[in-house]
Structures are given as C-alpha cells and as structure tokens.
Amino acid sequence: MNRLLDVIERTLRVTGEALFLLAAAAWECRLAPLHLPKILAQMAEIGAATLPITAMISLFIGGVLSLQTGSTLANYGIQGTLGGIVGVSMVKELGPVMTAILLTGRVGSAMAAEIGAMSVYQEIDALITMNISPVRFLVMPRLLSTVVVLPVLVIYADVIGWLGGGVVSAVNHRINIPFRLFMRNLTDTVEFDDVTNGLIKAMVFGVIIATTCCYVGLQTAGGPREVGQSVTKAVVVSFILILIFDYVVTRILFL
C-alpha cells in the first residue's frame, strides 16, 4: 500500500510540475517575436529531420491500407469506396498519430538529450546566474515550433498517404480502381471537419511532445548515463501520452 501511495504521489507531483512548465512556457510565448530567429531555426530543424522519413512511411502506410482494405472490399464488390476510407483514416487517425510518434523519436529525443546534457553540465544554472530564464530561452521556442510544425507535417503525411493509396489501388489487379476514381471518392468523402479534427490532434500531440521532453531534460541530473536514461524516459512517456490523448481528444470531438 505504501508503495502504491508513493507512486501516486510521485505521479501527481511530476504531472503538476510538467503542467507548471507548460503554463510558464505558454506565458513566455508573448515574447515570441523577440525570439523569432531561434523559433524559425527550431522549425527548420524539425522539418529537415522528419520530412524524408515522414514521406517514406506515409507512402507505404497509405499503400498498405489501400491494399488490405481494397482486397476486403473487392470481395463484396464495393471497392469503389476505397478512396474515402483511406482518406478519412489518414486525416483522422493514422496521419496525426504516426507523425507524432515519428517526431517524438526523431526530434523529441534530441530535445531531451540536449537539455539533459545542459542540465548535467550545469549550463542551466549558468543561464539562471546570468538572469536568463531557461523556460524562455530553451522551452518556449521548442514548444511553439513543435505546435506549429506538427500540423504542417500531418497535412504533408496525409497527402503522401493518399497518393500511396491511390497508386496501389490503380496497379493492383484485384482492386483495379483508377487513380482518378480513387481521388474523386476521397474528395467526396473527406470533409473539412475531418481534416480539422486531425490538426487539433496534431497540436495537442505537439504540446505533449515538447512539454514532456523538455521537462524530462530539465530534471536530468548525474552524468552521461542519466542523459541516456532521460531520453528513453522522455520518448516512452511521450508515446504513452500520445496514445492516451488520442483517445481523449477523439472522444471529445465525437461526443
């Protein structure tokens, strides 16, 4: 019982500290125009790190989704609806979740490692000594850039996934749906609200990734081994929170 109470107490404490960090970073966003070069540099780094792998994975996910779903629909002679199914699946679920997980592994881990190393080597203390807010200097640019860039990456992933699904539906002899018919059904089925829901998820995931990875990095103490442990912890916790909030946001949007 005591161990359970300790776990609950530690979980509540960490959650509260992370929320306070998020609130402080959100408050510092009022000074974002003064830190625009740093924010733009973070955005460029996130995009350069994730664009190629996002394109590759989205292309194959769209293709596999089209192949598996189209083959099943062909058994009932309704494969003409494949475009709408692939389109909605990508914008509502696969695009946001897949891109958020990629961003966590590719960029979130780098955030935790960089800030964790700065914490271990007392660079955070040096910033405080120079009266420079670590939240303003380190967390706010990363939070803002992640929240802005992730929805853009999701749109990019959606489009690539649609193209992959359309190509597979056209070349597979069992499905045999022309690319133009696939895209026509997709555009007729996918609505603006569907795209908006996916982008809302992406923004929530961006907040989760930046806050979690920056918080874990700031809490790092010890040496290089602890930095590696912090990176693993940040990535795993971000994955779990992404899946939890995926359900929560979906439940709220579809009440």
- pLDDT, one tens digit per residue, over 87-114 is 999 999 999 999 999 999 989 999 999 9
Q: Could you tell me which residues come within 8 angstroms of residue 207 by beta carbon, excluding any fewer than 6 positions away?
A: 22, 143, 146, 147
Please state, in angstroms and rounded to a whole number, the distance separating the CA atoms of residues 58 and 163.
9
What is the tally of structural domains in the chain?
A: 1
Please state, in angstroms and rounded to a whole number, the distance separating the CA atoms of residues 165 and 158.
10
**Maximum C-alpha span of the chain:** 70
DSSP 187: H
Q: What is the pLDDT of residue 255?
A: 58
Please state, in angstroms and rounded to a whole number, the distance separating the CA atoms of residues 207 and 53.
21
Q: What is the pLDDT of residues 24-64, one digit of tens each?
A: 999 999 988 888 998 999 898 888 888 899 999 999 999 99
**Buried/exposed code over 193-219 (b: 16+ C-beta within 10 A; e: otherwise):** ebbebbbebbbbbbbbbbbbbbbbbbb
Please state, in angstroms and rounded to a whole number, the distance separating the CA atoms of residues 16 and 116.
20
How far, in Å, are 1, 164, 184 from residue 179 at the CA level?
A: 60, 10, 9
pTM value is 0.93
Q: Say if residues 190 and 89 touch (Cβ distance below 8 Å).
A: no
The overall average pLDDT reported for the chain is: 91
**If you average pLDDT over residues 171-175, what whole number do you get?**
87
The residue segments making up the domain with residue 64 are: 2-29+36-253
Q: What is the pLDDT of residue 198?
A: 93
With CA atoms as reference, report the closest residue to 224 among 108, 109, 105, 116. 116
Q: What is the pLDDT of residues 1-15, one digit of tens each?
A: 678 788 888 888 988
Residue pointed to by tokens 């992959």: 164
